[in-house]
Structure 1
Amino acid sequence: MSMTIMSKTHGQWRTNVSLCDGETERGERMRWNLRMKAAELGVWKSTEMRRRLAEAGLEISAGKMSALWTGTPTSIRLDDLDIICHVLDCEPNELLIREPEAVAARRPAKEKISIVGGQIITPRLGRIRSLPPA
């Protein structure tokens, strides 16, 4: 599920986009495409990318850069995403790519509907309750 989080730091409101294991609000998986976009510009190492980001005004720790470079981040500040897109000369949708096929593969199969005695019986999730005493 995607969530936007507002936090106040040093008197300034900051917006974070939480990717939560790469899923969007509609349940679609997201693929983080930073390395491919960097490779298109000839940036092959995270240290080079970190240097370019620093030149653009975004100081990232080595640990955070490693996490951005090697995997899908769980959240990223929109300010940071804006600078990353500026450095890579791309749009956010080129870094965050939807993968609806991956979500479809993870969805459970639909329950079968049975007809018993002329009534349609659809299984329901949840606690089975007994009838109240008569």
Structure 2
Amino acid sequence: MLAPEMNKKLTETDTGTPGGTLMRRYWQPVALSDELSGNRPVVPVRIFGEDLVLFRDGEGTLGLIDRHCPHRQADLCYGRLEANGLRCPFHGWLFDAEGTCLDQPGELPENNRVRHFGQAAYPCVERNGMIFGYLGP
């Protein structure tokens, strides 16, 4: 029987743990392709202690980004899908599949705050009916 410390070291996969560091170096299945079909292709994903949102924008691009908007922490799973990304349901910030903030309604154009905000984003691919994400370095 393993000691509790060794068991914890081998089985925990949250951020900063040895198991999490190892597993992040491999492509991980995050959803079935069928989960992104239908009227609303947005799926919450929890992997390695991170809350993410997986979506397919209007152009068919897959995105895997942090689930909470950096502005007021609104849940992007309730966001509105647009041609080039996912719009926050609270204040309308628009994020593309790479996590770049494309639009901040209500901000003056000369403010340029939009370039200072972004989301953690991870590459993802679709193969054989599954979607895989890479959360590594």
Give the TM-score normalised by structure 2: 0.25
Greater per-residue strand proportion: 2
Query: Which one has more relative contact order, counting CA pairs under 8 Å at least 6 apart?
Result: 1
Larger radius of gyration: 1
Give the TM-score normalised by structure 1: 0.25
